[in-house]
Amino acid sequence: MSEATDQQLIAGLAARDQRALLHLYDRYAGKVLGLATRMLGEAMAAEEVTQDVFLKLWAHADRYLPARGAVSTWLLTIARRTALDRLRVEQRRPPLSDETDPDETWAVLPDQSSQGDEARWRALHLAVGALPEAQRQPIELAFYRGLSHSEISKALGWPIGTVKTRIRLGMARLRKEWFAPD
């Protein structure tokens, strides 16, 4: 079963096969933990989020829709939302990623998925980092820290309309560069 595809493992989960959960955990726990650690800034909280993510996966494997994306994408989306929920509940905020070296960020993620996925995530992280600061800051606050537009407005001292405009312009730039045909 260790050579089973992610979709086969999800089908196993839906059938309540505990071995499928163990295999998915072995494949993705490092990535989930890395994402949670980056978002929460605290190892113990990140470990709890990782555990919660795999419990949710066990309970809701039947909700996975292959047409909407890869299992890894679905799992990391669950992880991101779970970490954001925890941040909201605890009203904690991790440090801004201005000083974060992309190589350090990716160093916490084990090499367990395809090289293409890691390369895409690294490229996206670098693309966000290359945005003008006025666009990068609100995008990082919104997507890495989960702040609302009004929270970003307060944090940066900008009118809410400015926040929305700069996020929209930054996202348009990323879309143009990120999704541009090769």
**In the chain, what are the domain boundaries?**
1-93, 114-182
CA–CA dist 72, 70 (Å, integer): 5
Residue 8 has pLDDT above 90, yes or no: yes
Question: Given a cut of 80, is residue 112 above it in pLDDT?
Answer: no
**pLDDT for res 76:** 92
Residue 93: pLDDT over 70: no
Q: Is the pLDDT of residue 110 over 60?
A: no
Is-contact 105 38, C-beta < 8 A? yes
Segment of 8-22, 85-99, 104-118, 134-148 carrying the highest mean pLDDT? 8-22
Task: Report the alpha-carbon angle 87-145-133, nearest 5.
Answer: 160
SS3 17: coil
CATH of 1-93, one of 1.10.1740.10, 3.30.300.10, 3.30.70.360, 3.40.640.10: 1.10.1740.10
pLDDT band at 44 (very low <50, low <70, confident <90, very high): confident
Question: For position 82, what pLDDT does the model report?
Answer: 92
> Is the backbone of residue 146 left (phi > 0), alpha (psi -120 to 50) or beta?
left
CATH topology agreement for domains 1-93 and 114-182:
no
Please tell me the predicted confidence (pLDDT) of residue 94: 47
CATH ID of 114-182, from 1.20.1300.10, 1.10.940.10, 3.30.930.10, 1.10.10.10? 1.10.10.10
CB 125 within 8 A of CB 102: yes
Answer with the residue of higher pLDDT: 89 or 42: 42
- Asked if pLDDT for residue 53 goes beyond 90, the answer is yes
Instruction: Give me the pLDDT at residue 114, please.
Output: 53
At residue 103, the pLDDT reads 44
Q: Which residue has the higher pLDDT, 126 or 166?
A: 166
Residue 78 predicted with pLDDT over 90:
yes
pLDDT band for position 69 (cuts 50, 70, 90): confident
In this structure, how many other beta carbons lie within 10 angstroms of the beta carbon of residue 8? 14
Model pTM score: 0.52
